[in-house]
Amino acid sequence: MSLSLVETIDSFQLVDNSNQLIPSNRPAVVEMGHFFQARAAMGQIRLVAGELKDTATDLEFLKFWRESAGDRELAIESFLSAYGSKAVVVEEPEPEPIPAKKSR
């Protein structure tokens, strides 16, 4: 199983049967087993980056999170610079523009 950086899509946390936790307030490093793959398929979690180095841990990500004072993008970029040499970063899709209403 590969290590990935994931986050919940709303303000809830998830714990699998091996006690891997995705907190409600930040991304987390987890092994993408069946539980988390199923949650991703159901749209409950979002993959931030996959294929992290084998030495990546959630405790290490937490250090980057605290050092960035909660700046999500800075924490992720800094963490991936250290643990993401083989990482596949998943960009959030841009929302589609709303077409302008035609006047009558």
List, for residues 77-92, the tens digit of each pLDDT value.
Answer: 999 999 986 655 556 6
Tell me, yes or no, whether 23 lies in a domain: yes
Would you say 27 and 6 are in contact if contact means Cβ atoms under 8 Å apart?
yes
From the number of C-beta atoms within 10 Å of its C-beta (0-12, 13-18, 19+), residue 95 rates as exposed
pLDDT attached to residue 10: 92
Structural domain count of the chain: 1
pTM of the model: 0.79
> Which residue type is seen at 61?
F
Tell me, yes or no, whether 63 lies in a domain: yes
Q: At 73, give phi and psi (nearest 5°).
A: -65, -45
**β-bridge mates for residue 29, sequence order:** 5
Tell me, yes or no, whether 79 lies in a domain: yes
Tell me, yes or no, whether 48 lies in a domain: yes
What residue numbers bound the domain in which 13 lies? 3-89
Question: Residue for token digits 């999500």?
Answer: 72
